[in-house]
Structure 1
Amino acid sequence: MLTSMTGFSRVSVDKDWGTLTVEFSSVNSRYLEVFVKSGRELASEDPLIQGAVKKRLNRGKVQVRVELSWASECRMGRINPDVLSSYLSQVKDVVLSMGDGSDELPLNGILGLPGVLDLPSASSSSMKDEISSVLADLTDRGLDELVSMREIEGEKLLDDISGCLEDYQAIVSKIGSLWRGCADNAFESLRERVQAVADRFEISMDEGRLAQEMTVIADKWDISEELSRTDSHIGQFKKLLDERGPRGRKLDFLLQEMNREINTMGSKVADAEVRWLVVDGKSLLERIREQVQNVE
């Protein structure tokens, strides 16, 4: 089973003090990157959320958004009478000292001064422990849903990758079959051309030397090693697909090796049909590579 690095989840809960929502989104990344945005009131919970994510996931760029929406009765601020009284006294003294005869005090402005209006805050309320516990539960639920979605996406990736890999294996097998015939024909054609040149100029050929040179040339056309290594890479690739745990980097490495082998085949064999098969094979490898970029 493969696990994708792409996923999304959103969970929330309603309480007397308001609504708490946690949203997870993840995309592919070379390493595990976790970014938490919880706001000033819940910033102290960020390390705990990051730790929970790192225990469940291995790779991917994960963004976590935490939103706390207070209930209307909690959203209303409370006036601190002692602070307000102190401000009013100071403002009244200033107004009287100006001697403009005005008895009106700028109450709206005073309410905005620091300490006059106590706004709801998770860090200072008695609900801190409850909010922290609820957030931990929501984080676990959200991660469960995120992992589930990543596994579903991974199954789709596995189907597509497996299909492309079977097609690629068929192309490599066909290249191997064509190459054997092409090599024999090219070898015989070269021998005939050499013989024709020798006859034209009435040159006596050393059969032993000719055989030696032809063997060297034949080695340059030989792709048996590339075919053998490719079969080994495909076998390892299939084995990795059946394993569990993070495998994206290993799969990507095998694809690089497979691409190197088929490039060598294309450079060694001059047959047009083989060249087109090489192009088709490289296209399949590129499609597999694009899918593997999303594998954890």
Structure 2
Amino acid sequence: MAILSMTGYGQFTAVHQDTRISVEMRTVNHRFAEFHIRLPREWLSLEDGIRRQLGASIRRGRVDVFVNAEGLAAKQLVEVNWPLLDQLISAEIALCKRFERAFDVDTVRDWLKYPDVMQIRTGEMDADDVRAALETAVSEATQQLLRMRMQEGERLQANLQEKLQALRQQISFVEARDKVAVATRTAQLKTRIQQLQVDVEEGRLAQEVVLLVDRTAVDEEVVRLASHIEAFAQALMQSGSVGRRLDFIVQEMNREVNTIGSKCADAMIAKAVVEMKVYIEQLREQVQNVE
């Protein structure tokens, strides 16, 4: 099971009668699911339905959706202000009678040019007529977007696993080196005591050695760090939204590495700590884009 990236793009165009309904959407990383939908003014009532469609398959990420309709201008309606036209014709008939002129029916069409008598407006499609086509376009664009997020997720997963393996190698080195460092520190303490020509009881010396090892040994932190790495690897194989869990595990990894860095007195372990911090920072950056 591959994780999903929060980066994706989808587009689909559906045709309804003489109208082309185009849906375009893109997603970027975000802590929660956030939908920004731009619809033609006459279709605003359909926004809630689109949100429900998106929410069924997208758990995290900012989603920008653009819905465009082309071809509405081809649908035109002619409206005649009949009461005004009737009054104008009645006035013309009265005028003809007043001047004893015959009324010419052919002149009636001229009154259609009179202001406010006739209007030509663009017809607005009823929302119910395009609902099915719009839902289809949103569904197809969403599927395309999800396929892209899955492909990007597979690449992310492979890269994250490489970083985990690199961390495991560093941990193995620190674990082995810590044992050597403990023995080295013990020997250094004994040598220092001899140089100072100080008589120290064996019990007292053993106690000092234990305290020194306790202050500088990092075996507990190494065990916890290894456990966090395995928890991260297991989360990568889970389905659903795992980005927040991965982000939390990375924080715990960073805490353990910082503790190792503060306790160690060995130069080689300190160098390994720097390498681990680099890998963990790379994990943190990439996890921000996991759903």
TM class, shorter-chain normalised? 0.7 to 0.9
Shift of residue 72, structure 1, vs aligned partner: 5.1
Structure 1 stretches lacking a partner, 5+ long: 93-104
Structure with bigger gyration radius: 2
Shift of residue 43, structure 1, vs aligned partner: 0.7
Shift of residue 231, structure 1, vs aligned partner: 1.2
**Post-superposition, which runs of at least 4 consecutive aligned residues in structure 1 deviate over 6 A?**
none
Aligned counterpart in structure 1 of residue 207 of structure 2, from 189, 212, 223: 212
Shift of residue 84, structure 1, vs aligned partner: 9.5
Per-residue CA distance 1:165-205 (angstroms, 9 max, x = gap): 101110111111111111210121012212322x1xxx432
Determine helix, strand or coil for the equivalent of 2:56. helix
Cα separation, partners in 2 of 1:7 and 1:46, compared to 1, 3 Å: same
**Structure 1 CA distance for aligned equivalents of residues 240 and 139 of structure 2:** 20
**Structure 1 CA distance for aligned equivalents of residues 65 and 82 of structure 2:** 38
**Structure 2 CA distance for aligned equivalents of residues 14 and 245 of structure 1:** 33
Alignment-derived partner of residue 43 in structure 2? 42
Alignment-derived partner of residue 9 in structure 1? 10
Determine helix, strand or coil for the equivalent of 1:80. strand
1:87-236 equivalent positions in 2, closer than 5 A: 110=115, 116-123=119-126, 128-197=127-196, 199=197, 203-236=198-231
TM-score (norm 2): 0.85
Shift of residue 15, structure 1, vs aligned partner: 3.5
Shift of residue 164, structure 1, vs aligned partner: 1.0
Cα separation, partners in 2 of 1:36 and 1:84, compared to 1, 3 Å: farther
Determine helix, strand or coil for the equivalent of 1:56. coil
Aligned length: 268
Alignment-derived partner of residue 276 in structure 2? 281
Shift of residue 17, structure 1, vs aligned partner: 2.0
**Structure 2 CA distance for aligned equivalents of residues 85 and 150 of structure 1:** 61
Shift of residue 139, structure 1, vs aligned partner: 1.2
**Structure 1 CA distance for aligned equivalents of residues 160 and 216 of structure 2:** 31
Alignment-derived partner of residue 20 in structure 2? 19
RMSD over aligned CA atoms reads 2.4
Per-residue CA distance 1:137-174 (angstroms, 9 max, x = gap): 11111111111111111000001101111011101111
Cα separation, partners in 2 of 1:41 and 1:84, compared to 1, 3 Å: farther
**Structure 2 CA distance for aligned equivalents of residues 85 and 165 of structure 1:** 81
TM-score (norm 1): 0.84
Structure 2 stretches lacking a partner, 5+ long: 92-110
Shift of residue 24, structure 1, vs aligned partner: 1.1
* Paired letter, 2:276: G
Per-residue CA distance 1:92-142 (angstroms, 9 max, x = gap): 9xxxxxxxxxxxx9x79x57x9x944322123xxxx433111001111111
